[in-house]
Amino acid sequence: QFFALLDIGGTDIKSCVGDAQESKLGKILRTATPSNISKRNNHYEISPSKILQEVVKHVNHLESEPLRINGLLISGQMGSWVLTDEKNRPLTNVVSWQDNRVLDLGQENMENIRKEFGDRRLIETGNELRSGLPIFGIRTILKNWDQSQSVRIHSLISWIASQICSEYSFSVHITDAAST
């Protein structure tokens, strides 16, 4: 059985076909992940259309393989997120784990969120709250959000899946949600 593998990283996007029975990888395609487009200090944003263009290059490469591919596996450790509408169309840029926009509101804002989050949730989610976590960036953006507009919170890889799959169910795997 052959599977298409797609890994979306902070530096590179990688893809190849893997042979599940032989535990072998085919030729790996590697391209650069688009860079920060924000001009604001503490902000790190990636253009959704640029990152999707790169992913489509990889999907086209995978589809050109003369093998019967049984499925696509997507991975990524870049704890990034994007807010979309209910049809998964971006309402924000992709915001990287390197983003520290919460610091624009001052350190006390981070401490208030930490208190509100609570010790029990901290322990359950890894005992770490740092300025680049999505909970802070999302909260900073939603603070001034029009409450009448519905919004979905996607990880980078859940949003990519929504864009390249013909039938997409809005769900996030627990290992992907953990970084959020």
User: How many other C-beta atoms can be found within 10 angstroms of the C-beta atom of residue 129?
Assistant: 16
Tell me the pLDDT tens digit for each residue of 59-110: 999 999 888 999 999 998 778 999 999 999 999 999 998 898 888 777 777 7
Name the band, by pLDDT with cuts 50, 70 and 90, for residue 120: confident
Nearest one of 151, 167, 152, 175 to 74, comparing CA atoms? 175
| DSSP for residue 53 | H
pLDDT at 122: 73
């989610």: which residue's tokens?
Answer: 125
> Is the pLDDT assigned to residue 16 strictly greater than 70?
yes
Among 92, 75, 83, 179, residue whose Cα is nearest residue 132: 179
Q: What is the mean pLDDT of the chain?
A: 87
DSSP-based three-state secondary structure for 159: helix
How confident is the model over 138-156, as a mean pLDDT?
86
Q: What is the reported pLDDT for 134?
A: 81
Contact of 29 with 16, CB cutoff 8 Å? yes
- In this prediction the pTM is 0.86
Residues in CB range of 101: below 8 A, 6 or more apart: 40, 42, 43, 95, 136, 137, 140, 141
Query: Could you tell me which residues come within 8 angstroms of residue 13 by beta carbon, excluding any fewer than 6 positions away?
Result: 6, 7, 30, 31, 32, 33, 51, 54, 55, 58
Helical (H) or strand (E) element with 111: helix 107-117
Q: Is pLDDT above 70 for 127?
A: no
Cα-based torsion angle of the residue sequence 69, 34, 172, 140 in order, rounded to the nearest 10 degrees: -170
